[in-house]
Amino acid sequence: MSRILFVCLGNICRSPTLEAVARVEFARAGLDVEVDSAGTADYHVGEPPDRRSIAAGAMHGYDLSVLRARQIVSVDFTRFDRIFAADRANLRDLERLRPECGTRPALFLGDEEVPDPYYGRDADFERVIALARQGMAALISQMRSAGH
């Protein structure tokens, strides 16, 4: 079983959205993958995702309401096979936090970032859903090509 961790700053907008989309899309694809999400900061530990993230997810069949924010911990770097950052700032933080033998993080969308919708409008949360779906389609295709 593969284990994938999605990471953003506070773990209330982007990374829980990526986690929820991943759960559904991996299941639809018939892939056995454990997914989780975390933040690099401790701003919202224990809190549910932003209400706008929950609403955007629900409109597309992704349930974020059961998720709770947590901060990344050092064991995550050995527990997860892949760690995906939403943006370059969080990627830099992950690289700084990573133990020498830990999983090397990467940007979820390759060279692109998932923009932070927190200070935006509803359309920005919808954009995160669209990017999550696009990224998951590419990841599933990559995993199938690798024989998962």
Specify the number of domains making up the chain.
Answer: 1
User: In sequence order, which residues have a C-beta less than 8 Å from that of residue 99 and are 6 or more positions away?
Assistant: 74, 77, 78
pLDDT one-digit tens code per residue, 17-35: 999 999 999 999 999 999 9
Q: What positions carry a catalytic annotation?
A: 8, 14, 116
- Tell me the helices (H) and strands (E) count for the chain, helix number first: 5, 4
User: CATH no. for residue 7?
Assistant: 3.40.50.2300
pLDDT one-digit tens code per residue, 101-123: 999 999 999 999 999 999 999 99
User: In sequence order, which residues have a C-beta less than 8 Å from that of residue 36 and are 6 or more positions away?
Assistant: 3, 4, 5, 6, 19, 80
Mean predicted lDDT score pLDDT of the chain? 97
pLDDT value of residue 148? 64
Residue 138: domain span? 2-145
Under DSSP, is residue 104 helix (H, G, I), strand (E, B) or coil?
coil
